[in-house]
Structure 1
Amino acid sequence: MIKSGKKLQIHTLVTRLMIGGALVFALAACASAPLPPTEELQAAELAIRGAEQERVADYAPQDLKQAHDKLSAARVAVQDEDMVLALQLAHESRVSAELASAKTAQRKAREVNEEMQQNITILQQEIQRNTGVRQ
C-alpha cells in the first residue's frame, strides 16, 4: 500500500507540474506582443505617395495632412509596442490618403466639366453671331 500511495503522490506532483508548465506557456503566449502591422504601414505609405503624386495638397490638404499625422502616430505606436493601435492608425492613414485622392479626382472632374460648359457657351455665342440665329 505504501508503494501505491507514493505513486499517487508522484503522479499528482507530475500532473501539477504539467499544468503549471502549460499555464506558464499560455501566459507567455498571451504576453508576447503581436507583430508590427508592416503590410498596413506600407499600404498607408503607398497611398500617401500616390496622393502626393496626384497633387492632392492643392485640393484636399487637410485629408493629406491627416494621413501623414496618422501614419506618424502609427509608427510611434509600433515603437511603443502597441500593435493594435498601430494597425488601426495605419488603416486610418491609408483611408485618409484614399479619401484625399477621391476628393481630388472629384474636384478635377468638376473643373473640367465647368470648363467644357464655358466652351459650349462660347461656341453657342459664336454660332449665333455668325448665323444670326438665336438659340
Structure 2
Amino acid sequence: MNHPLPTSHSPGLHHHRWTAARAAVLGLAGALVLSACATVPAPPTAKLQAAELAIGNADTARITDQSSPELSDAREKLTAARLAVEQEQMVVAARLADESRASAELASARSELLAARTVNEEMQKNLDTLKLEMQRREGVSQ
C-alpha cells in the first residue's frame, strides 16, 4: 500500500504543525509557571532600612514607647517584617516595613506637635504676663 507524503497543501501537515506549536506554547507556559513559583522575591531591604531609620529618628528625638503607642507599634511591625523575610514572605514583609516606617514617622510628628504646643502655651503665658504688667504700669502712671 502506497501512502502519499503530506504536502504543504494537505490537511494532515497543517494539523501536525498546529499540534506541535500548541505543545511548545503549553510547555513554555508550564515552565514559566513553575519557575515563577520557585523564585522567591528579593527581601525589601530598602523598606526595612527606611523603617529602621524612622525608628532611630524617633529614638533620637527621645520619644519613648511608653509615651507613644505609635512608636511601640512601629517596633512591633518591624520585628514582624523581619520574621516575614525569614519566612520568605517578601510581599508581607514589604507591607509591614512600610507600616512600621509610617508609625514611627507618626510618632515623631506627634512628638513635634506636642513640643510646638508646649512652646506656644509658654509664649501665650509670657504674653499674658506682659499684658498684665503693662496694664498695671498704666494704672500707676495715671
Pick the TM interval, shorter chain. Answer: 0.7 to 0.9
1:79 to 86, 89, 101: 86
> Does the 8 Å contact 1:59/1:107 carry over to 2?
no
Separation in structure 2 between the aligned mates of residue 54 and residue 78 of structure 1, nearest angstrom? 29
Q: Is 2:58 the counterpart of 1:69? A: no
Q: What pairs up with 1:40-55 in 2 under 5 angstroms?
A: 40-55=47-62
Structure 2 counterpart of 1:20: 27
- Structure with higher Rg: it is 2
Q: Is 2:104 the counterpart of 1:97? A: yes
Separation in structure 2 between the aligned mates of residue 2 and residue 70 of structure 1, nearest angstrom? 73
In angstroms, what is the RMSD of aligned CA positions?
A: 2.7
> Does the 8 Å contact 2:65/2:72 carry over to 1?
no
SS of the residue corresponding to residue 132 of structure 1 reads: helix
Identity of aligned residues (%): 48
TM-score (norm 1): 0.80
Q: Is 2:120 the counterpart of 1:113? A: yes
Separation in structure 2 between the aligned mates of residue 19 and residue 3 of structure 1, nearest angstrom? 28
Q: What pairs up with 1:1-16 in 2 under 5 angstroms?
A: 1=3, 16=23
What is the number of residues matched between the two proteins? 132
TM-score (norm 2): 0.77
Per-residue Cα deviation, 1:30-77 (whole angstroms, up to 9, x for no partner):
331111111110111111111111122288521111101100000000
Higher helix share goes to which structure? 1
1:12 Cα deviation after fit? 6.0
SS of the residue corresponding to residue 42 of structure 2 reads: coil
The structure 1 segments of at least 4 consecutive aligned residues displaced by more than 3 Å after TM superposition are 1-5, 11-19
Structure 2 counterpart of 1:29: 36
> Does the 8 Å contact 2:77/2:97 carry over to 1?
yes
Unpaired runs of at least 5, structure 1: none
